[in-house]
């Protein structure tokens, strides 16, 4: 008798828990309150019919007012901009569906109205679609392209940031994403080094949606140092353009080691790992943080498969000192209009690094996270000098290969 009673209370308890969960999950959700307006140089702001088609339109969107509302602008070639204001409104749910009886706020607040008016303030007729100089104005105001008349698709990368690890690859990607013609995957995909057996359709599924004319960028710094990757990339993405960020290999080694420390992979002191145990002063070139900085060796593997002209080298030091100048060269290499300029950056003194004035999605200032810009463990001057001497011949070889002296 004891067992069934226990069983009953157990089942009853589970049932009660499930009902509570269902009540909470099913109770509240959000719906959007939409407000469509036609604005344009010759139009005052006014209501537009919701079912109006937007021929050859370009849709842009940006969050407003702490991300609870959005402005979407549909620009067409007839000097008209249609703006939609969408607000996230809480609504009561009944069995997974929103109950629309929750009162909504039909009018956008005045500051949003102003924003909508500003959308139509310039003349979209002056130039067609994305190539329009006008587009820059929208990009500068934090708008992102969400659609054109073409279909968005997941396209294989046109550009790969191949490395080098701990040289500023994340910063380069974050900065490039500001460009409206760039679409990039967030996390590192590791297709060519770890997951190649999963096939191209798997790879494609990890890449973002993009429109025709936009460039898809993927960054996995391990590609640079993994043998076999250049041949795979050549086979699958033969006309891909490659971006390589490099930084003083000694600093890079310390940065790499610091990352290992943070992941508890390396607990022994740097010096113990960097030198061959039996011969103090002899650099252990097999150790990852050291071998990762032998740029000439790794680059040669890429040059066996790709012409020099398809590889652009970015200075990691300069990416910190003058990000706009580096981004200018990258945009030129990728054949993009120069959208990313000085005005997109500010120097955050606390972080000690340049940050973005506006992130591509939220339109808010954005610095890289705390895993970027860590302080490195101190090493003795002697260790530093030994490493410097060790890298010197490799560095010179690298300068020759790329035609650029980085003065490390
Ligand atoms: N703007 C900005 N903000 C923060 N950090 C910046 C920036 N520009 C370059 N860096 C340098 O980037 C280093 C990390 O390099 P990666 O992004 O290539 O690292 S990773 O390989 O993806 O883990 C990181 O190395 P650490 O300083 O060792 O953390 C930074 O020095």
The first and second tokens of residue 114, run together, are 């102003």
User: Does residue 142 sit in the same domain as residue 290?
Assistant: no
Secondary structure of residue 209 in the 3-state scheme: strand
User: Does residue 140 sit in the same domain as residue 167?
Assistant: no
Q: From ligand 1's centre to the CA of 171, what distance in Å?
A: 6
3-state secondary structure 171-193: HHHHHHCCCCCEEECCCCCCCCC
| CATH number reported for the structural domain that contains residue 193 in this entry | 3.40.50.300
Mean pLDDT, the chain, whole residue set: 81
Q: What percent of the chain has pLDDT over 90?
A: 49
Q: Atom 30 of ligand 1 has which residue's CA nearest to it?
A: 373
**Is there a binding annotation on residue 170?**
yes
Atom of ligand 1 nearest to the CA of 221: 21
Distance CA 370, CA 350 (A): 12
Residue 102, pLDDT score? 46
**Of residues 87, 94, 165, 166, which has the active-site annotation?**
166
Q: From ligand 1's centre to the CA of 182, what distance in Å?
A: 21
| Domain boundaries, position 189 | 153-402
Q: How many domains does the chain have?
A: 2
Residue 76, pLDDT score? 59
What is the best residue among 373, 374, 375, 377 to mutate for testing ligand 1's pocket, by most ligand atoms within 8 Å of CB? Answer: 373
Residue 337, pLDDT score? 87
Q: Is residue 221 part of a domain?
A: yes
The better pLDDT of the pair 93, 320 is held by 320
User: Does residue 252 sit in the same domain as residue 373?
Assistant: yes
pTM above 0.90, yes or no: no
Residue 181, pLDDT score? 85
The better pLDDT of the pair 166, 33 is held by 166
Tens-place pLDDT, residues 321-344: 999 999 999 999 999 989 899 999
Residue 129, pLDDT score? 45
Q: Atom 12 of ligand 1 has which residue's CA nearest to it?
A: 168
Specify whether 263 is catalytic. Answer: no
Give how far Cα 223 sits from Cα of 164, 316, 400, Å. Answer: 8, 17, 22
Q: Judge if ipTM > 0.85.
A: yes
| For residues 69-78, average pLDDT | 67
Q: Atom 11 of ligand 1 has which residue's CA nearest to it?
A: 168
Ligand 1 pocket (Cβ < 6 Å) reads: 165-171, 221, 255, 258, 319-320, 353-354, 368, 372-374
Q: Are 219 and 170 in contact (CB under 8 A)?
A: yes
Tell me: pLDDT of 291 over 50. Answer: yes
User: Does residue 119 sit in the same domain as residue 247?
Assistant: no
- Of the pLDDT bands very low, low, confident and very high (cuts 50, 70, 90), residue 210 is confident
User: Does residue 106 sit in the same domain as residue 217?
Assistant: no
Q: Are 274 and 289 in contact (CB under 8 A)?
A: yes
From 116, 147, 178, give the residue that closes a domain.
Answer: 147
**Is there a binding annotation on residue 199?**
no
Q: From ligand 1's centre to the CA of 169, what distance in Å?
A: 7
Atom of ligand 1 nearest to the CA of 374: 29
Q: From ligand 1's centre to the CA of 232, what distance in Å?
A: 27
Tens-place pLDDT, residues 79-100: 456 677 777 776 666 666 665 5
Beta-bridge mates of residue 163: 244
Tens-place pLDDT, residues 345-376: 999 999 999 999 976 555 678 899 888 988 89
Tens-place pLDDT, residues 278-288: 787 899 999 99
Q: From ligand 1's centre to the CA of 356, what distance in Å?
A: 14
């Amino acid at each position: 008798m004891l067992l069934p009673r226990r069983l009953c209370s157990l089942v009853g308890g589970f049932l009660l828990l499930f009902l509570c969960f269902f009540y909470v999950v099913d109770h509240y959700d959000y719906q959007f309150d939409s407000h469509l307006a036609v604005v344009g140089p010759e139009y005052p702001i006014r209501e537009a019919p919701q079912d109006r088609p937007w021929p050859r339109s370009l849709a842009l969107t940006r969050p407003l007012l702490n991300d609870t509302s959005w402005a979407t602008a549909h620009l067409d070639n007839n000097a008209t901009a249609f703006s939609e204001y969408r607000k996230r409104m809480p609504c009561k749910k009944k069995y997974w569906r929103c109950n629309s009886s929750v009162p909504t706020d039909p009018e956008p607040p005045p500051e949003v109205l102003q924003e909508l008016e500003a959308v139509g303030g310039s003349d979209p007729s002056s130039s067609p679609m994305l190539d329009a100089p006008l587009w820059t104005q929208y990009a500068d105001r934090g708008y992102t392209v969400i659609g054109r008349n073409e279909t968005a698709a997941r396209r294989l990368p046109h550009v790969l940031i191949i490395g080098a690890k701990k040289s500023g690859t994340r910063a380069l990607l974050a900065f490039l994403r500001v460009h409206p013609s760039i679409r990039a995957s967030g996390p590192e995909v590791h297709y060519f080094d770890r997951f190649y057996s999963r096939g191209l359709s798997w790879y494609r599924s990890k890449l973002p949606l993009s429109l025709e004319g936009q460039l898809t960028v993927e960054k996995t710094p391990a590609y640079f140092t993994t043998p076999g990757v250049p041949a795979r990339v050549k086979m699958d993405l033969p006309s891909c353009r490659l971006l390589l960020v490099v930084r003083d290999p000694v600093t890079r080694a310390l940065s790499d080691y610091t990352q290992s420390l943070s992941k508890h992979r390396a607990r022994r002191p740097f010096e113990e790992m960097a030198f061959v145990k039996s011969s103090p002063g002899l650099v252990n070139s097999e150790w990852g943080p050291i071998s990762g900085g032998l740029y000439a060796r790794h680059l040669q593997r890429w040059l066996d498969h790709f012409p020099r002209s398809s590889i652009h080298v970015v200075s990691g030091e300069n990416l910190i000192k003058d990000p706009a100048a580096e981004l200018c060269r990258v945009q030129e290499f990728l054949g993009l209009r120069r959208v990313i300029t000085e005005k997109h950056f500010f120097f955050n003194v606390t972080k000690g690094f340049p940050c973005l004035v506006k992130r591509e999605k939220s339109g808010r200032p954005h610095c890289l996270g705390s895993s970027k810009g860590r302080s490195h463990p101190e090493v003795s001057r002697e260790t530093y000098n030994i490493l410097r001497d060790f890298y010197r011949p490799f560095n010179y070889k690298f300068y020759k290969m790329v035609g650029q002296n980085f003065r490390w």
